[in-house]
């Protein structure tokens, strides 16, 4: 008699039929000449954060290996890294699943952003140069194009580049690596918000407000605009929990209430 599969409480009820693989734009990123594990990790993380692999879905390891033209070893090594970030859950005798969004991890990532990005944008404002002003203006110009085209993936990539540029200029690229490593769960909430009506325009206006503070060499104004921008995630979380309940861990509602009450918002 077949042994029954164990179920992870964070995994939705899904059949193996129609389990998705990776989108073509991510498959094309693999470079056979470079070490595989780091590439596979980056591609898988991108697919999870951008919701190409939905929370609760089964990770079809065989299909992904076929798509990327790799053996199981680099994928398994990448999965171990993703498991350490709580982005996947490996269930014995069942399979690997994309983890549901853990709200406590979302708030942890937000605290890291709040602590580091507000400091870094102040530093960037105090040491602003014409060269960086041109670079950040070009990024904003590209964001406007993506917003006009409703290119969600393109806009999100430029949003990330915007924050990475400020971190690298204000402090170092290493600071952005620290922030990026802490905010994977938060990024999935941010990515959920992007297709909402007028969301791109609001984010763009917030980015422009940050740039205005930078151009004025005003650390307080730049940091104030950045604070408004990164805190807006709190206005979106409750809506997402209601509309996409299947994407969140079972304790999401109680974690949100506890956090909001403790934060006084």
pLDDT grade, residue 238 (50/70/90)? confident
Burial, 264: exposed, middle or buried (Cβ in 10 Å; 0-12, 13-18, 19+)? exposed
Structure tokens at 220: 């307080």
The H or E element containing residue 181 is helix 173-182
Which pLDDT value is given to residue 140?
98
In the predicted model, what is the mean pLDDT of residues 26-45?
90
pLDDT of residue 261 exceeding 50, the answer is yes
pLDDT of residue 1 exceeding 50, the answer is no
Of the candidate ranges 37-41, 116-120, 154-158, 258-262, the one whose mean pLDDT is the lowest: 258-262
Cβ(11)–Cβ(89) under 8 Å?
yes
Terminal Cα-to-Cα distance of the chain (whole angstroms): 55
pLDDT grade, residue 121 (50/70/90)? very high
* Distance (Å, whole) CA 73 – CA 162: 34
Give the model confidence (pLDDT) of 133-155 as tens digits: 999 999 999 999 999 999 998 99
- Three-state DSSP class for 1? coil
pLDDT grade, residue 19 (50/70/90)? low
Give the model confidence (pLDDT) of 45-89 as tens digits: 999 999 999 999 999 999 999 999 999 999 999 999 999 989 999
How many CB atoms are located within 10 Å of the residue 212 CB?
Answer: 13
* Distance (Å, whole) CA 105 – CA 237: 13
Which pLDDT value is given to residue 110?
93
Which pLDDT value is given to residue 262?
64
Task: Give the single-character DSSP code of 88.
Answer: E
Q: Mean pLDDT of all residues in the chain?
A: 89
Structure tokens at 150: 């409703």
Which pLDDT value is given to residue 254?
84
Contacts of 242 (CB under 8 A, 6+ apart): none
pLDDT of residue 230 exceeding 70, the answer is yes
Question: Any idea what the Cα angle at residue 155 is, between residues 153 and 158, rounded to 5°?
Answer: 110
How many CB atoms are located within 10 Å of the residue 172 CB?
Answer: 12
β partners of residue 91: 95
In the predicted model, what is the mean pLDDT of residues 121-138?
98
Q: Largest alpha-carbon pair distance within the chain?
A: 72
Highest mean pLDDT range out of 19-28, 153-162, 242-251?
153-162
In the predicted model, what is the mean pLDDT of residues 189-200?
93
Q: Which of 204, 91, 88 is nearest to 148 (CA)?
A: 204
Which pLDDT value is given to residue 7?
38
Task: Give the single-character DSSP code of 5.
Answer: P
Which pLDDT value is given to residue 164?
98
Is 0.85 topped by the overall pTM?
no
Cβ(164)–Cβ(173) under 8 Å?
yes
């Amino acid at each position: 008699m077949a042994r029954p599969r164990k179920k992870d409480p964070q995994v939705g009820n899904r059949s193996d039929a129609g389990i998705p693989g990776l989108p073509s734009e991510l498959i094309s990123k693999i470079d056979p000449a470079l070490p595989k594990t780091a590439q596979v990790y980056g591609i898988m993380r991108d697919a999870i954060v951008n919701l190409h692999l939905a929370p609760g879905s089964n990770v079809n390891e065989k299909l992904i290996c076929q798509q990327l033209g790799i053996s199981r070893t680099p994928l398994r090594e990448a999965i171990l890294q993703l498991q350490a970030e709580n982005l996947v859950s490996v269930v014995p005798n069942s399979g690997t699943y994309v983890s549901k969004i853990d709200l406590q991890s979302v708030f942890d990532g937000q605290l890291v952003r709040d602590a580091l990005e507000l400091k870094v944008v102040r530093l960037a404002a105090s040491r602003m140069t014409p060269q960086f002003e041109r670079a950040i203006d070009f990024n904003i110009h590209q964001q406007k194009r993506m917003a006009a085209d409703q290119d969600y993936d393109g806009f999100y990539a430029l949003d990330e580049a915007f924050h990475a540029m400020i971190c690298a200029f204000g402090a170092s690229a290493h600071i952005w690596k620290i922030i990026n490593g802490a905010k994977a769960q938060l990024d999935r909430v941010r990515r959920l918000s992007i297709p909402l009506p007028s969301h791109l325009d609001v984010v763009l206006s917030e980015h422009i407000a940050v740039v205005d503070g930078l151009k004025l060499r005003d650390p307080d104004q730049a940091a104030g605009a950045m604070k408004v921008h990164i805190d807006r995630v709190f206005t979106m979380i409750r809506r997402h929990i209601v509309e996409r309940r299947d994407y969140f861990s079972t304790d999401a509602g109680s974690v949100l209430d506890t956090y909001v009450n403790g934060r006084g918002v």
